[in-house]
Amino acid sequence: MGLFGGTFDPVHIGHLVAAEFVREACRLEEVVLVPARVPPHKEMPVASAEDRFRMVELAVAGRPGLTASRAELERDGPSYTVETLRRFRELRPGVRLAWILGADLLADFPLWKEPREIAAMADLIAVARPGYNEQKGVQILRARFPEARVEVVEIPRLDISSSALRQRLAEGRTVSVLVPEPVLEYIGRNRLYAKAGRRR
């Protein structure tokens, strides 16, 4: 089973491509998208945890093998991966877990809470992302954590980020196609990301 954590503020097709392609490449039964309530290593999200979860739910709806989890919404404090993995070990005893992450996060991994424990509980699957050298990232990670099981999955490189989408939405520009249609509707209906005074 693959766990794919993130802020998903908002979820976009880069996330879905990563989830789908890793599921196929690693023959995972399920890839679970896990929105962080409070991301420990970045600024506070713009949309509420509940809205981000709803958008992830809409994005995976009708996609066999992709699901959304509330695991990090149910815990107080920063959403540490190590605690999420412990929770999934309880929920799904005996199931082999993989943690999926974008190449941009490889360099930060040693700064995460209890990285050694994370690597002991899960295989790490890094997906390629434009602007980041995943081979170098993996080399560094392997040097620091020789016992970690880490592999790279090559996926179509989509230069899309939630921050760039939020910026576009704040400017009243389109994010069509980059965000799944039901998510687009949800954003519009709930006026997420629009700058005050520019809402429509």
Residues near ligand ATP, by CB under 6 A: 6-9, 14-15, 18, 101-102, 104-105, 127, 129, 158, 160-163
**Minimum distance, C-beta of residue 86 to ligand ATP, in the bound complex (Å):** 19
- The Cα–Cα gap between 75 and 34 comes to 12
3-state secondary structure at position 31: strand
**Minimum distance, C-beta of residue 104 to ligand ATP, in the bound complex (Å):** 5
- The Cα–Cα gap between 69 and 51 comes to 13
**Minimum distance, C-beta of residue 8 to ligand ATP, in the bound complex (Å):** 5
Output 161 or 190, the one with its CB closest to ligand ATP: 161
- The Cα–Cα gap between 41 and 167 comes to 20
Output 7 or 145, the one with its CB closest to ligand ATP: 7
Output 59 or 121, the one with its CB closest to ligand ATP: 59
Q: Find the helix or strand (DSSP H, E) in which 125 lies.
A: strand 122-127
**Other CB atoms closer than 10 Å to residue 107's CB: what's the count?**
14
Task: For strands 31-35 and 97-102, give the pairing.
Answer: unpaired
Output 133 or 161, the one with its CB closest to ligand ATP: 161
**Minimum distance, C-beta of residue 55 to ligand ATP, in the bound complex (Å):** 11
- The Cα–Cα gap between 5 and 133 comes to 20
Assess contact for 88 and 82: CB atoms under 8 A: no
**Minimum distance, C-beta of residue 10 to ligand ATP, in the bound complex (Å):** 9
Output 28 or 200, the one with its CB closest to ligand ATP: 28
Tokens for 12, please give them: 């976009």
**Minimum distance, C-beta of residue 157 to ligand ATP, in the bound complex (Å):** 7
Reply yes or no: is the peptide bond before residue 10 cis, omega within 30 of 0: yes
Tokens for 37, please give them: 């309530």
Output 79 or 162, the one with its CB closest to ligand ATP: 162
